[in-house]
Amino acid sequence: MNITIFIGGLSGGGAERVVCNLSNYLSSNHKVTILTMSDDTSAYPLNETVNRVTLSNNSENKNYLSKNIIRLFRFNKFIRDTKSDVYLVMLPVTINIMLLHKVLIKSPIIVSERCDPYKRYESSKLKKFFMRKLYPKADGFVFQTEDAMDYYKKIINGKGIVIPNAINPEFIKRSFDGTRTKKIVSAGRLTNQKNFSILIRAFSIISKYHPEYELVIYGDGPQRGALERLVSELDLKNRVRLPGYVKDLGSQIIDSSLFVLSSDYEGMPNALMEAMALGVPCISTDCPVGGPKFLIDNNINGILTPVNNLDKLAEAMNKVLSDEEFAESLCKNAKNITQTLGYKNIYNKWESYIIQIVN
């Protein structure tokens, strides 16, 4: 079977990681092509058996309009010249491009929605209009959570399935055995969505009770400057670190005392899943569209706190750091996530669903 996966780029992010890992898995039994809008370098390893086609090259000195006209021309040529048995498309822009060309595409199209639809569509009548017009054209849908699928139930006509993200094999390790470092960690792009500012403020509150701890936030992004200023304002320069993006996140956080996800919204958060798989005590906001709620049984294998609630977040952090026995129970129970969200289990579900849609 010839499978084409269409996405904007592969430079980093949860959807991009899923595309690379899924492509590697499928390529053992099928011919897989990743079609991208840009020619950025992949942040994640790709097997040699996976073909990649790009619609634009950074070396081409074109303005924004010219570049996009060329991309559309090449996209149309790819559709005409390539005999794909099925197209899998992720993220809003590429989903819209693919479905707008449905009349030219004879093979089935599977849409994989990764964003929070309430954030994306309820704030924009135009985006919602296009979604309602285009999404019914798709032949199948993959969602990360039941809450996300529920948003589209009147549009997709029962054609959807929920498949959570898989835990990457490098995070499925033996439990940490030793004295945990006095380190609270988080990870993700430094954007408003991740709301790292509330995490820094919560750390400021509890730091007076736990002066031996530091907060380390891994990742880069447009909010770096604002977060660094906040750290200075709260006089936490010697207690909070922003080391940027690291390749081997697992080795950096496995011995930590606490992982915190402070996001305002998420799909199925990879960073949280991976921290749980490593057996790190975890706290997450109970944010839409239900990913953390799917992963965490509150106070059993982690703690859920209300979105953007500073006091509750600080209270939960203090609880974990103050109660070693409770923290250890969270560690032990969190690792059970590896049994249900293992790599082969999840990507086998993808393959089965793709075959079902093609047939």
- Tell me the per-residue pLDDT of 244-277, one tens digit each, with 9 for 90 and over: 989 889 999 999 999 999 999 998 998 999 999 9
- The reported pLDDT for the residue numbered 13 is 79
Least confident range of 17-26, 72-81, 113-122, 213-222: 113-122
Q: What 8-state DSSP symbol labels residue 166? A: P
Domains for the chain: give ranges and CATH numbers: 2-166+342-358 (3.40.50.2000), 170-340 (3.40.50.2000)
Instruction: Report helix angle 310-322 to 196-206, nearest 10.
Output: 50
Give the span between the Cα atoms of 208 and 185, in whole angstroms: 18
pTM: 0.86
Q: What 8-state DSSP symbol labels residue 171? A: G
Rounded average pLDDT over 231-247: 95
At 140, the amino acid letter reads G
Rounded average pLDDT over 10-23: 90
Give the span between the Cα atoms of 134 and 303, in whole angstroms: 38
- The reported pLDDT for the residue numbered 301 is 98
- The reported pLDDT for the residue numbered 242 is 98
Sheet containing 240-244: give its strands across: 240-244, 214-218, 183-187, 258-261, 282-285, 303-305
Question: Beta partners for 31?
Answer: 2
Rounded average pLDDT over 108-122: 90
- Closest C-alpha to 142, from 181, 100, 87, 179: 87
Give the span between the Cα atoms of 234 and 226, in whole angstroms: 12
Give the span between the Cα atoms of 295 and 147, in whole angstroms: 13
Helix (H) or strand (E) holding 93: helix 92-100
- The reported pLDDT for the residue numbered 239 is 97
How big is the CA angle at 112 (ends 80 and 44), to the nearest 5 degrees?
A: 85
Using pLDDT thresholds of 50, 70 and 90, give the confidence band for residue 74.
very high
**Phi-psi region at 13: left, alpha or beta (left = phi > 0; alpha = psi -120 to 50):** left
Question: Beta partners for 50?
Answer: 32
- The reported pLDDT for the residue numbered 43 is 87
pLDDT of 31 > 80? The answer is yes
3-state class (DSSP) for residue 216:
strand
Token pair 């390529």: residue: 27
* Higher pLDDT among residues 204 and 57, named by residue: 204
Query: How many Cβ atoms sit within 10 Å of the Cβ of residue 182?
Result: 14
Count Cα neighbours of 240 within 13 Å in the Cβ-side half-sphere.
24
